[in-house]
A and B are shown apart, each in its own frame.
Chain A
Amino acid sequence: MTGLVLNDEQQMLKDAARRFMQERAPVSQLRKLRDERDETGFSRELWQEMVEMGFVGTLIDEEYGGSGFGYVGMGQVFEEVGRNLTASPLFATAVLGATLLRNTGSDAQKQALLPAIADGSMIMALAVDERARHAPHYVETRAEAQGDGFVISGRKVAVVDGHVADKLVVSARTAGEPGDADGLTLLLVDRAAAGVTVERTIMVDSRNAAVVTFDQVAVPKDAVLGKAGDGYAVLQQTLDVGNAMLAAELLGIAQEAFDRTVKYLHERKQFGVTIGSFQGLQHRAAHLFSEIELMKSVVLKALTALDQQDDSAAQLVSLAKAKASEVAELATNEGIQMHGGMGMTDEFDIGLFVKRARPMQQLFGDYRYHADRFAADRGY
C-alpha cells in the first residue's frame, strides 16, 4: 500500500466482502434472527461460509490456516459488515481471539487454537470489563496461584459472544489492586469448566453479549497467555486492533445510514417538492458528508499504522475510534431526524443502524474515553 489508498488485493477483498454481505447477510437477516428469537444470535451456516470466503482467517498466519492478509484487509471486511449489520462471531473470535493468540500465545497454544479459529470450529470471547463504562485496568477478578495452576473468581460484563463461546480469555489480577495496570494476567478458560456461569444478555442491537461469573474456576498453569502479571500491555495491543475494527464497522454503519438518508431526501415529497430541495436539510447533509470523509481517512490511517507496526499506532487508533464514534452518532441521529416519523418506525431499517452504532461506540471506550487517551498521549 502506498499512501492512503487501497492496493488491488485490498480492493478485491473489499468488493468480495461487499457482494457476500449484501447477498448472504443483509439487514433482513438480522431482522429474522431477532424476530425468531434465535438462541445463537447468528447463523452457523453463514459462519462456515465466511470461513470458506477467507474472512475468518484474515488475521491468522498461513502456517495456522489463515491468509495473513493484515489489518487494512480486515478493516474492509468490517466496513461491509457495518453496512449490512451482519451478525457473526467475526469480531470476538477472528479479531480479538486471533490477535491475542497471535501476539502472545505459546507455540503450543497457537498450534492448538489458531487452526480451530481459522476453520470455524471454535468460537472465542474476551472477558475484560467489570464496569458499565470501559475501564480495562479496573479489575477485581482474581487468579490465585494454587498447586500447579490458578483459581479464578470474579464477574465480567459486556462479554461479546460470551453466550456461545467455546473458549474465554479473561483478564484477572495476580497482583495489585483494582485500578493498577500492573499485576494483570490473561488466562484461557473453557466455557464448560466447573464454576463458569454465563448469563446471556440480549442487547439493544439484537446482538448478544453475556455476564460471565467465575466461581473458584481452576485452570492449569499453561492456561496463561503470555507472562503472568504482564497482561495489560498485551491486552492494550489487542484492544487497539479491536477498536480499529470497531471504527471500520462504525464507518460502514455511518456511510450506509447516510446513503439511505440521502436517498430518502431524493424521494420524500412535501409541499409538492422533494424534501432534498430544502437548504435546511441540504446543509446538514453536506456537513455530514464532510464528517464522513474525515472518518474514512482516520480509519484507514489507523489500520495502516497497525499493519506497519507504527510507533504511533495506539494514538491513531484512539483518534479513529473517537472520530468514528462521534460521526456515527451524528449520522445515525440525523438519519432518524431526516426520515421524520418513518425513522421512528420499526418497519424502516434506519432505526437498526442507530441501535447497532451505540453499543459499538461504548465497547472498549467511547468518544470521551479515546479523546482523553489521545490527549494524554499527545502530552496534555
Chain B
Amino acid sequence: MTMVVGARGLADQKARQGAARRPYRPNLALLRALVGVVFVAIWTFVAYFYGSNFIPSPAETFRSAMRMMSDATIPTALASTVYVFVVGYLLAAAFAIPLGLFMGGFRIFGAAIEPYVDALSAMPRVSFIPLIIIFLGLGYEAKICVVFLGAIMPILLNTYTGVLNSDADLIEMAHASGASEMQIFQKVMLPGALPYIIAGMRVGAGLALINTVVAELYTAVQGLGGLLSVYGNTFRMGPYFVVVILLAIIGLITMRSLKALERRLTRGYARTRI
C-alpha cells in the first residue's frame, strides 16, 4: 500500500472510498445533455401544437440562424451587444470595487453615503434613461451608461459588505504582528472581502445583460435587443427565437467564466465561500 502524503491526499482518498461505496454515480455531463434533449423535445412538441406562427420549431429556428449568420445580421448585432455589455460591465466593476473598498475602509464615509446608495440600488434604472438620452444621446455612450448604472449597485454593496464583515480576530492578529493600517487593509480586509466581491460581480453580470437589452430597446434600436424589438413587432418568430437563444448563451458564458474565476481566486476559502 502506498503512503498518502498530505491532508489533500487523505481527503482525496476518502472521497474515492465514498464514491466506491456508492452503487451508482450519475454522470453530470450526460444528465445535462439529457435535460437539453428533453427541453428540445418539449419545444418541438409545443411548436407543433401551436404552429410556427407562434412558436417556431427547433429546425426552423436553426434555419433562421443560418440565414442570419450568412447575411451578417448576427455578427453585427452580436458585436454591438457584446461591446456595450462588456464595456458597461467592466466600467461598473472598475468603479464599484474601489468605491466599495473605500466605503468599507473609511467607515464614516461609507456610513455617510450608505442611505443614498441604498436608495439608488432599489430604484428602477430605466427611469434614468430619458435623462441619459438628454446628456449622452442615443449611441453607444448612452447604452454603456445604462449598463454601467444597472450593474454597479450589487458590486458596490457586496464589496462594502465584504469589507465591513472582515474578521476582527484576523485584524487583531495582524495588528499584534505590527501590521500598518494599510497592510491590514491590503492583506487582511481585501482578501477577506474577495468572495463577497465575486458574488456581487455575478449578480452584476446578470443585471448588466438585462440592462444591455433594455438600453438597446429604449435608445437607438441596435444590437440583439434591437433585433428583438424588430422581429417581435413584425412577428418573425424564427429570427426572434434565435436572438433569445443568443442572449441566453451570452448569459451562460458570462456566468460560467465568473464561476471559473471564483474557483481560481478563492481556492483556500472552502469555509468562507459564499
- A-B complex is real: no
A interface with B by C-beta (< 8 Å): none
B interface with A by C-beta (< 8 Å): none
